[in-house]
Structures are given as C-alpha cells and as structure tokens.
Amino acid sequence: MLKVSGLQAGYGAVNILWDISFQVGDGEIVAILGSNGAGKTTMVRAVTGILRPSQGSVEFNGQELAKKNARYILDHGIVQVPEGRQLFTEMTVLENLEMGAFNKETKAHFRENLDKAYGWFPRLKERARQAAGTLSGGEQQMVAVARALIGMPKLLILDEPSLGLAPNIVDDILEVARTMARQDGLSVLLVEQDITKALACADRGYVIENGRIALEGTSAELQANEHVKKAYLGI
Amino acid sequence: MSTFLQACVNGLLMGGFYSLMGMGQNVIFGVMKIVNFCHGEMLMVGMYLTWLLHQTFGLDPYLCVPIVAVIMFCLGAVIQHTLITPALGTKSFTNLLFLTVGLGLLLSNGALVLFGSEYRSISTSYSMTYINLGPVTMALPRLISFGVLLVVSVALFTFLKYTTVGKQIRAVSQNPVGAEVVGINTKRIYILTYGLGVALAGIAGALLTGFYTIFPTAGASFGFRALIVVVVGGLGSIPGAFFAGIFLGLLETMVALFISPSYSDLIVFVTFIVILVVRQLIVLRRK
C-alpha cells in the first residue's frame, strides 16, 4: 500500500505542492481530484520520481521511495499512464508496448502480459504493426494503459485518462482498471479533472486545491459535499 | 558515356562518406536536438588516430577501423558526460553552439600544434591498385572503403531498428518525457548516442586515410556536407541521410564533369539553398 505524507515539490524556486498526504490501500481505487493547475500532475511526477520532491515521504509496501530515481520506483511496482499519453508516435504499437518492459522480470513475462493486454484491448492486436501516431486518441490511450500494464504494476497511476477522449472510451478504460483492482488486487490512483466520472469509479477520493489536500472522504461523502457540489459539479 | 559512368561511380564512392557523416550527425540531432558543429573535426581526429596507429604499429588502415571506432566512441562519451549534458541543462541553444564550434576549433588547432600543417598520407601495398569493371576504373582503397561503410550503415540501421538499446534511442528521440515514464535513463542514452555519432565520424575518417590526405582542417568540408545531408535527408532520419549523402556525392561529380571541378562547392551550396527555399514554399503552400 502507498502512503504519501507531507509531500512538497516544485520546479526551481517555484513550489507547487505544499503539503500532500494520502493513502491507497491494496486493491483500492483512490481518486485525486482537482481543477487545472491544482498540482495533480506535479504530484504524479513527484510520486513516480520524475521530479524529486523537496520534502516528505512516499512509502510503498514499507519501502521509502521519496528521492529515489524513476527507474527505482518503477522496479518497485509504481507505474503511471502519463497525462497526454506520451507514446512514441513513430514506433509501432508493439514497439511501444515493448518499451513498457523495463527490467528483467517484466521482460521475462512480456509474452503473457502482452496477451493479457491484448485481452483487455483486442483492437491493439489488430494494430500491432501500425505506427502509434496513426491511431485514434482512444486507441492511443489504450496503448498507454497497455504499456503500463506490461510493466506489471502493483499501483497503477492514471493521470487524466479522460483528457480529450470520448466518454464511452473513458468508461472502457476505467472498467479495465476496476476489474483489475477487484480481481488482481491492483491498487489504482486515478487523477482526474472529471469529478463525476472519477467518483463513480473510485472507492475514496482527495481534493487538491492550490497544492494542498483540501478535502477527503469516500466517494459518496464527496459527492454529497456542498463545497464539491458548488465548486466542481456546478450544482 | 564511359566518362559519365566513371563520374557516377566516383560520386557514389564519395557520397558514401557524406552518408556516414550525415547519419552520425542525425543520430545526435535526433536524440538531443543539437547540431554537432565539430562533427567534421571528429572525422579529422579519426584520420590522425589511424595515421598514428599505422606509424607506430604498422597497422593496415582498414584494421584500424574498429580500434578507431572504439577510441572515438569513448572520446564522444566523455565529451557528452563532462561538457554537453551539463550544457543541455541550461536549455540554451547558444551555449551548445559555442560549445561544439569551440570544440571543433580546439581539435583542429590541437592537431596543428601536435602534427604540424604538413599533408600526410598513408601508403599501403594496394594504394595504387586499380580494378577495371568494363568501362569503369576504381581505386581499390576507395572500393574497400565503400564496402565497409555500406556494412556500417546497415549495421547502424539494424541496431536502431531491432535492439533494445536502439529502440530506447529512438524512444528518447521521439518523446523524452515518455522515455522517462517507462524508466529509460535518458542521460545514459545521451552518452551512448553522442559516442555513437562521434564513432561514425571517426570510422569515416579512418576509411578516408586509404586514399585521402591528412591535415588539420581535412574534416571541415565533410562537416559542412554532413549538415547539408541532414537537412536534405530530413532531420533525424537515418535512411534519409544515407540517400542524401549519395545524392550529394553524385551531384558533386556531375558538376565537376559537366561544368567545372572548381564550381562543385558553389553548385552544392546553391542546390542546398534552393532545396531549403523550395521546401519552405511547399510548407507555406500546405498551410
């Protein structure tokens, strides 16, 4: 399980995250909600080691991971589907998926994990030899999710999966995450602007405002919260 | 007709070197988006290394190729690690421009201090051997060089296309953010890439010594041509660079044959400018 406490991070002299603390249990789906510029993606970058946090701790299954490098954190099972997908557009779908196998263990299990990924997203099998950049937005998001699953995550971080995609495709992708959480005990951290969709999928949620956790609760509690209703749901 | 065929063959044999230089430049540009302005000087260093190995150990210049490649790879890796990677961090194109141009000046003037301005050459038992193929005559060293550089080109292409490290290099060149997300160590890839690019220039230098004179500024014309090859063949494209290099070699010899050898540089650069202008017009038309 992931336990983040007192996380601070930023770029140069500009601090973005002030004090971020949250937890994700095994097999749990936790949503991190917030509007544009609230610090969600910075939080993802700090947790995954792409950005070194200036303070705080990221504890995962008893291991301290804050200030470790990105590769070390991947090796420990935290894999993200980044905002904007970040595929290798001129490489084939299959090559993109190969890039998801970053260490000995994931390379050894590549074949079976590839079959599993094709099972979740059959369309990728048909498109395996096609350049990733020629795929539709939804298919590209599937490649990004499949690439992360090939990294055999214990915690999957989905950063803005709804960005620029048709609602039914977002539902498909969230359904895969849900099923994997229920069946395989995968923990999921869902980082979203689309609060309605995120709370419909998640067990619990946290709201980030100005780089701080402003609210937390179960999905039902947050859906009923007056502040959330007013500020985010427009009710 | 036979002079035309002869010119074609000469152009092809020379063009291979421009291809090799262009491909090295393109690997570096593709990954780091920087132009290596000391690429020609790296070729010159490769030439002097071959000459030194030949003088001290009596090694055949073609046997020097793998040794030169390894030494140049290490040189490139050290330069990347100590100078270019820190300069990349400043995100300033000017810094990188001055850095690589300065390195080039340092290398060519260093060679001047160490080896003097004399023209040197390596003569082997087969330097003066010519092969006749119908109406065409080819110097044996040029032919061997071309054969070796074809093998190197195919090897480079295969390496980038099929090996894990090759795929990682392409991944970093297409999307550095995505590469970090999947745990690729981009700094390590930068070191490999610059080493690889410099090694390719060194190989070109070693292959040239069989029939070309060695002097401190021998690399300059190849360095310029590498830039043309990269622009004509497409930034970052390895097959593009290969064919653009051959095209450039053919163009040079055709100009020398039909107009005058003294105009070949002029025509090459005019063609370059014309291609740039035409391409810009096409881009504007599309918009």
pLDDT of B286 strictly over 80 = no
A interface mutation test: which of B173, B180, B182 has the most A CBs within 10 A?
B182
Residue with tokens 């509007």: A35
Handedness of CA B238, B243, B244, B246 (dihedral sign): positive
Q: What pairs with residue B130 in β-bridges?
A: B139
Backbone angles phi, psi at B54, to 5 degrees: -70, -45
Q: Does A98 touch chain B (CB under 8 A)?
A: yes
Answer whether B37's CB lies under 8 Å from B97's CB.
yes
Report d(CA A136, CA A140) in Å as an integer. Answer: 6
Tell me how close the Cα of B75 comes to any Cα of chain A, in angstroms.
27
Q: Give CA–CA dist B198/B223, Å, rounded.
A: 12
Among residues A82, A78, A80, A57, the alpha carbon closest in space to that of A67 is found at A57
* Residue B72 tokens, joined: 């140049």
Bridge-partner residues for B214, per DSSP? Answer: B120
Largest CA-CA distance found in chain B, in angstroms, rounded: 60
**Would the pLDDT of B3 be above 90?**
no
List of E strands, A34-135: 55-60, 63-64, 78-81
The alpha carbon dihedral of B20, B26, B28, B34 has a sign of positive
SS3 category, A217 = strand
Q: Using CA atoms, how far apart are residues A138 and B80, in angstroms rounded to an integer?
A: 39
**For B72-118, what is each residue's pLDDT tens digit?**
999 999 999 999 999 998 888 889 999 999 999 999 999 999 999 99
d(CA B61, CA B66): 10
Spans in chain A with pLDDT lower than 70:
none
All residues of chain A having their beta carbon less than 8 Å from the beta carbon of residue B164 are 98
Q: What is the DSSP letter of A146?
A: H
CA-CA distance, B147 to A44, in Å (whole number)?
A: 51
How distant, in Å, are the alpha carbons of A32, A43, A53, A117, B55 from that of A7? Answer: 14, 8, 7, 33, 62
Judge whether A50 is closer than 8 Å to chain B, CB to CB: yes
The reported pLDDT for the residue numbered A167 is 86
Q: What is the mean pLDDT of residues B173-189?
A: 94
Pairing of strands A212-218, A204-209: antiparallel
Question: What integer is the mean pLDDT of B124-152?
Answer: 91
Question: Could you tell me how far CA B84 lies from the centroid of its own chain?
Answer: 19
Instruction: Say whether pLDDT at B267 is over 90.
Output: no
DSSP H helices, chain A, are 40-47, 70-75, 93-99, 104-108, 110-120, 122-126, 137-150, 167-184, 195-201, 219-224, 226-228
pLDDT at A28: 95
To the nearest whole Å, the CA of B108 is away from the closest chain A CA by: 38
Considering only CB atoms, A99 lies closest to which of B167, B177, B185, namely B167
Separation between Cα atoms, residue A82 and residue A99, nearest integer Å: 14
ipTM of the complex: 0.90
pLDDT-derived band at B280, boundaries 50, 70, 90? confident
Q: What confidence tens digit (pLDDT) does each residue in A49-61 have?
A: 999 999 999 999 9
B175 and A89 within 8 Å at the Cβ level: the answer is yes
- How far off is chain A from B171, nearest CA to CA, in Å? 6
Q: Check: CB of residue A44 under 8 Å from CB of residue A156.
A: no
CA distances (Å), B203 to each of A127, B71, B229, in order? 39, 10, 17
CB distance A95 to A133 below 8 Å: no
- Alpha-carbon distance of B13 to B142, in angstroms, equals 7
What the block records as the tokens of B48 is: 């002097």
For the cut 90, the answer to whether the pLDDT of residue B123 exceeds it is: no
In this prediction, residue B262 has a pLDDT band, given cuts at 50, 70 and 90, of confident
The reply to whether residue A90 touches residue B167, judged by beta carbons under 8 angstroms, is: no
Contact A103 B175 (CB under 8 A): no
Alpha-carbon distance B182 to nearest alpha carbon in chain A (angstroms): 6
Residue A21: DSSP 8-state: E
The gap from C-alpha B6 to its chain's centroid, in whole angstroms, comes to 24
Please check whether residue A94 touches B, CB under 8 A: no
Q: B180: which chain A residues are within 8 Å (Cβ-Cβ)?
A: 50, 70
Q: How far is CA B76 from CA B31, B180, B184, B190, in A?
A: 15, 23, 20, 10
B37 to chain A nearest CA, in Å? 27
Tokens of A96: 């993109």
Q: Do A99 and B180 touch (CB under 8 A)?
A: no
The number of C-beta contacts closer than 8 angstroms across A and B is 53
Helix axes B220-233, B39-57, angle to 10 degrees: 130
Q: Give the chain B residue nearest A148 (alpha carbons).
A: B182
